Structure 1
Amino acid sequence: MTDAIKIDVWSDIACPWCYIGKRNLESGLAEVAGDDDAPRVEVTYHSFELAPDTPVDFDGSELDFLAGHKGMAAEQVEQMLARVTEVAAGAGLEYRFDILKHTNTVKAHELIHHAKAQGRQLEMTERLLQAYFTEGRHVGRVDDLVDLAAEVGLDADGAREALESDRHVVDVRRDQEQARAYGINGVPFFVIDGRYGVSGAQPPEAFAQVARQVWAEHRSAAGDAA
């Protein structure tokens, strides 16, 4: 059997382009799933913190954070948020920056690693992004994260123990070290088979194209080995 394409995605829960990129990747893979020789793909998400110095409870709006913490003009921030909201809508996502609760994301990344160990990483990643960008949920506090974990079928007590023990911090740091080794300094960033890098929230057709190209390489390699 031909080996599956491995797509490793570096992203941050607080990155609006990461959710758009996730949805575009899924749309592109859905397109190739209808091919006569459809690629098999395994997607794994990895931790990346855009603003690790952010407090868990930030006192202010997303506009306040970007204008104050990042030193951007308020008008510039408003235009940027309007633009990303428009792009997100094109990907089928309804962003609500007016109710978004900006927070530190390290605990959310720890929870994704816990979910990965339980075979629910993709579900947990989706739920966190949805909660953050479209529902105004808090994704930085343990109690809130435990509730979200339970919503995707994870054991609440097990999720709480994992978060309170900090045992997945080492996994988060390992992902970040790998990102530095690859030279990744912005997200989303997609690494295909450890050989090809795709930066940014590319359109679905770009992901479909690269999936078909790499799958053809897999098929050729399998034929040569036969």
Structure 2
Amino acid sequence: MAVRVDIVSDVVCPWCVIGYHQMAKAAQETGIDLDVHWQPYELNPQMAAEGENLREHLAAKYGTTPEGSRKARARLTEMGAALGFEFNYADDMKMVNTFRSHQLIDWAADQGRAHNLKLALFAAFFTRREDLNNEDVLADVAGSIGLDRDTARAVLVSGERAEFVREKQRFWTSRGITGVPAMIFNRQHLVTGAQGEENYAHILKQLQPAHAV
């Protein structure tokens, strides 16, 4: 049987991208199947609708210097490339409010497409630098993976998924999740941060026997 992994994550979290792809690569190399469930977390729940310049945002929130920001971006870009993901940073890149993205993922889960949508949103933000607070942009991303674009946009406009997402966010924060990525394996074992392929392979190998038939 597959190892279940709940990944508490935000769509604008670069280490969530790295961590997921490291784990996916480890799973592929060990031949262990994953059952991935993406869970909502907002790095910046108070972010204004217009967003903020990413570099200025990081400087204000973490005290990141311009040189530190450049080095971090270069490192992430290199790590992403090694895993087959393109980070395409730019000085005018924006940090955005992601609550609508999480609502769309919640809706996509009903169609069994939450995983596909999450990965598509990672690419939309980090590779194409699209505004993931924009309803039309989000509807286009949903359409790109085969979901109905008009229905997706209607879901966002209505806000019908908002409270479901808030409930899920409260559930995970009530269990002590204060940073992402946070990965919960088989609903029991919490691993935080991007751990690297070797560590993920070790974790998966440890957990697999419990699911052997």
Q: Give the alignment's TM-score, normalised by structure 2.
A: 0.91
4+ long deviations beyond 3 Å: 68-72
**What does 1:41-60 align with in structure 2 at a 5 Å threshold?**
41-60=34-53
Compared with structure 1, are the counterparts of its residues 67 and 43 closer, same or farther at alpha carbon in structure 2 (3 Å cutoff)?
Answer: same
Contact 1:100 1:132 in 2 (8 A): no
SS in 1 for 2:132: coil
Give 1:139's match in structure 2, choosing from 132, 136, 151. Answer: 132
How far has the Cα of 1:70 moved from its partner?
Answer: 4.5
1:82 to 61, 65, 74: 74
**1:91 corresponding residue in structure 2:** 83
Structure-1 residue corresponding to 2:172: 179
Query: Structure 2 regions of 5+ residues with no counterpart?
Result: none
Q: What is the CA-CA distance between 1:178 and the residue it aligns to?
A: 2.1
**What 5-or-longer segments of structure 1 have no aligned partner?**
34-38
1:167 Cα deviation from its structure 2 partner: 1.5
- Whether 1:197 aligns to 2:184 is no
Q: In the aligned structure 2, how far is the partner of 1:69 from the partner of 1:204? A: 29
Q: For 1:104-135, what per-residue CA distance to the aligned partner results, in whole angstroms no more than 9, with x for missing partners?
A: 01101111111111111111001000110011
User: Is 2:56 the counterpart of 1:64?
Assistant: yes
Q: Find 1:16's aligned residue among 14, 18, 29.
A: 14
Identity of aligned residues (%): 32
What residue number does 2:3 align with? Answer: 5
Give the residue type in structure 1 aligned to 2:136: D
Are the equivalent residues in 1 in contact too, given 2:10–2:42 (CA < 8 A)?
yes
Contact 2:21 2:83 in 1 (8 A): yes
Report what 2:93 is aligned to. 100
1:27 to 25, 28, 46: 25
SS of 1:52's equivalent? coil
Deviations 1:171-204 (A, max 9, x none): 2212212222321111011001111011111112
Q: Is the 8 A contact 2:52 2:96 kept in 1?
A: no
Secondary structure at the aligned position of 2:202 is classed as helix
**Aligned-residue CA RMSD in angstroms?**
1.8
